[in-house]
């Protein structure tokens, strides 16, 4: 067992940290206020080859792997959860293509996704359900050599940015959910105004309207009628990025709390002298450390495992723990800051809202526990 990062991993972590500190952190507030990530940030990440970091070189990636991806995403999330959010959903969609795509699909989509020219999305949730594939109502009706897709997808990240989107629809031949690859903004594709949510304002979610969207039969991703398998695997890889995002937020909350505790005066000293503050900081540090190693291990498994079922279980366990720890750490950080922690001007108030969101997305925490508990009790 070796807990030491390789030279390459250290280099990528350092490059991402420097970029996040120099280019993202100074405008993190602006990103939240304006609800958009400037093109220069996306370009800067593309220049560092971060979008293709986990994908094979033959498809335009760097082949550095998921551990490097997590190291980079963690640094980015420390500066802005929104930028990390878009980075993570892009990986969610692209991972499904990398895992299940035919050679033609990979050749068509991975190079552009890997260079950051196109941003991938992954659309499962509908107005009726976000957790249950049996309830999806979007349909893909076979028509000659094509499928015609109709339905509505809800709360879809990055669906307003050009690129591929993985759509889950019930196909007319098997009657089961099937994953299909669609180009965003093709005829029949449109999106709603962004939802107004409590945080992650720079990583918007929209509803996607699919009206007679026609795709060739070759757009099916993975086995027909087995969209659930694509969903489970895709979301499991997506959870690696979700955990890295939570981890970055937690570290930022801990750093801000240590700084605040050492600066906030109380009589002749600062609030850092209080045992209550010390215990809060210690609890935060414990959760950050535990989350970090669980997340790194999940990334290592993403690079090394071929057993997708075991990986899905580990991803569920890690995501439930890390997302909940993110909320705990953010709440403790707000406590260390007192009323200032509730103010918009203070970073920890945003981290808290972002952490609550992470707990509910890409698998609600309790649903993750049902996966873990169910497999342990089988």
Ligand X SMILES: Cc1cc2nc3c(=O)[nH]c(=O)nc-3n(C[C@H](O)[C@H](O)[C@H](O)COP(=O)(O)OP(=O)(O)OC[C@H]3O[C@@H](n4cnc5c(N)ncnc54)[C@H](O)[C@@H]3O)c2cc1C
Q: Does 80 bind ligand X (CB under 6 A)?
A: no
Shortest distance, position 114 Cβ to ligand X, whole Å? 19
Interacting span for ligand X (CB under 6 A) from 12-20, 31-39, 119-127, 252-260:
119-127
Shortest distance, position 368 Cβ to ligand X, whole Å? 9
Report the distance separating Cα 291 and Cα 250, nearest Å.
Answer: 9
3-state secondary structure the chain: CCCCCCHHHHHHHHHHHHHHHHHHHHHHHHHHHHCCCCHHHHHHHHHCCCCCCCCCHHHCCCCCCHHHHHHHHHHHHHHCHHHHHHHHHHHHHHHHHHHHCCHHHHHHHHHHHHCCCCCCEEECCECCECCCHHHCCCEEEEECCEEEEEEEEEEEECCCCCCEEEEEEEECCCCCEEEEEEECCCCCEEECCCCCCCCCCCCCEEEEEEEEEEEEHHHEECCCCCHHHHHHHHHHHHHHHHHHHHHHHHHHHHHHHHHHHHHCEECCEEHHHCHHHHHHHHHHHHHHHHHHHHHHHHHHHHHHCCCHHHHHHHHHHHHHHHHHHHHHHHHHHHHHHHHHHHCCCCHHHHHHHHHHHHHHCCCCHHHHHHHHHHHHCC
Size of the residue set binding ligand X (CB under 6 A): 22
Shortest distance, position 365 Cβ to ligand X, whole Å? 7
Nearer to ligand X, 292 or 350 (CB): 350
Q: Does 120 bind ligand X (CB under 6 A)?
A: no
Q: Does 122 bind ligand X (CB under 6 A)?
A: yes
Q: Does 125 bind ligand X (CB under 6 A)?
A: yes
Question: Which residue from 59, 69, 100, 155 is in contact with ligand X, where contact means CB under 6 A?
Answer: 155
Nearer to ligand X, 90 or 337 (CB): 90
Q: Is 40 a catalytic residue?
A: no
Report the distance separating Cα 119 and Cα 121, nearest Å.
Answer: 7
Q: Does 123 bind ligand X (CB under 6 A)?
A: yes
Question: Which residue from 356, 357, 359, 371 is in contact with ligand X, where contact means CB under 6 A?
Answer: 357
Shortest distance, position 115 Cβ to ligand X, whole Å? 21
Q: Does 135 bind ligand X (CB under 6 A)?
A: no
Nearer to ligand X, 143 or 366 (CB): 366
Window 89-108: residues binding ligand X (CB under 6 A): 89
Interacting span for ligand X (CB under 6 A) from 254-262, 299-307, 309-317, 359-367:
359-367
Nearer to ligand X, 203 or 257 (CB): 203
Interacting span for ligand X (CB under 6 A) from 3-11, 297-305, 326-334, 361-369:
361-369
Nearer to ligand X, 101 or 202 (CB): 202
Q: Does 71 bind ligand X (CB under 6 A)?
A: no
Q: Does 137 bind ligand X (CB under 6 A)?
A: no
Shortest distance, position 331 Cβ to ligand X, whole Å? 19
C-beta atoms surrounding 301 within 10 Å: 19
Report the distance separating Cα 340 and Cα 95, nearest Å.
Answer: 40
C-beta atoms surrounding 22 within 10 Å: 11
Residues 343, 105 contacting (CB under 8 angstroms): no
Nearer to ligand X, 7 or 134 (CB): 134
Interacting span for ligand X (CB under 6 A) from 13-21, 218-226, 258-266, 353-361:
353-361
Q: Does 367 bind ligand X (CB under 6 A)?
A: yes
**Active site positions, annotated:** 362
What is the binding site for ligand X (CB under 6 A)?
89, 121-125, 129-132, 155-157, 200, 205, 357, 360-362, 364, 366-367
């Amino acid at each position: 067992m070796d807990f030491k990062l390789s030279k390459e991993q250290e280099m990528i972590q350092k490059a991402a940290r420097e970029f996040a500190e120099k280019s993202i952190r100074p405008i993190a507030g602006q990103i939240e206020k304006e609800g958009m990530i400037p093109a220069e940030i996306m370009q800067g990440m593309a220049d560092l080859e971060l979008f293709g970091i986990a994908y094979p070189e033959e498809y335009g990636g760097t082949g550095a792997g998921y551990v490097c991806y997590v190291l980079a995403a963690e640094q980015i999330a420390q500066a802005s959860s929104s930028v990390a959010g878009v980075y993570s959903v892009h990986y969610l969609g692209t991972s499904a293509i990398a895992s299940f795509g035919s050679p033609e699909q990979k050749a068509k989509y991975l190079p552009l996704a890997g260079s950051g020219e196109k941003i991938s999305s992954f659309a499962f949730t509908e107005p009726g359900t976000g957790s249950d594939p049996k309830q999806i109502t979007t349909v893909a009706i076979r028509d000659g050599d094509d499928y015609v897709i109709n339905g509505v997808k809800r709360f879809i990240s990055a669906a307003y940015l050009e690129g591929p989107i993985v759509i889950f629809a019930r196909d007319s031949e098997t009657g089961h959910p099937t994953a299909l690859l669609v180009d965003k903004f093709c005829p029949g594709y449109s999106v709603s105004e962004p939802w107004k949510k409590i945080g992650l304002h720079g990583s918007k979610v929209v509803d996607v309207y699919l009206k007679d969207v026609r795709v060739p039969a070759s757009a099916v991703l993975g086995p027909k009628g087995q969209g659930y398998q694509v969903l489970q695997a895709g979301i499991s890889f997506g959870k690696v990025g979700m955990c890295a995002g939570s981890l970055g937020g937690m570290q930022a909350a801990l750093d801000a709390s240590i700084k605040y505790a050492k600066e906030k005066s109380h009589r002749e000293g600062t609030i850092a002298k209080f045992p209550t503050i010390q215990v809060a900081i210690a609890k935060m540090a414990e959760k950050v450390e535990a989350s970090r190693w669980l997340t790194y291990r999940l990334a290592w498994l993403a690079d090394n495992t071929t057993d997708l079922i075991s990986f899905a279980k580990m991803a569920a366990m890690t995501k439930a723990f890390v997302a909940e720890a993110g909320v705990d750490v953010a709440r403790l950080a707000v406590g260390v800051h007192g009323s200032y922690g509730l103010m918009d001007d203070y970073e920890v108030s945003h981290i808290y809202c972002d952490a609550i969101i992470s707990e509910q997305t890409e698998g609600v925490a309790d649903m993750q526990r049902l996966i873990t508990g169910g497999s342990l009790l089988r």
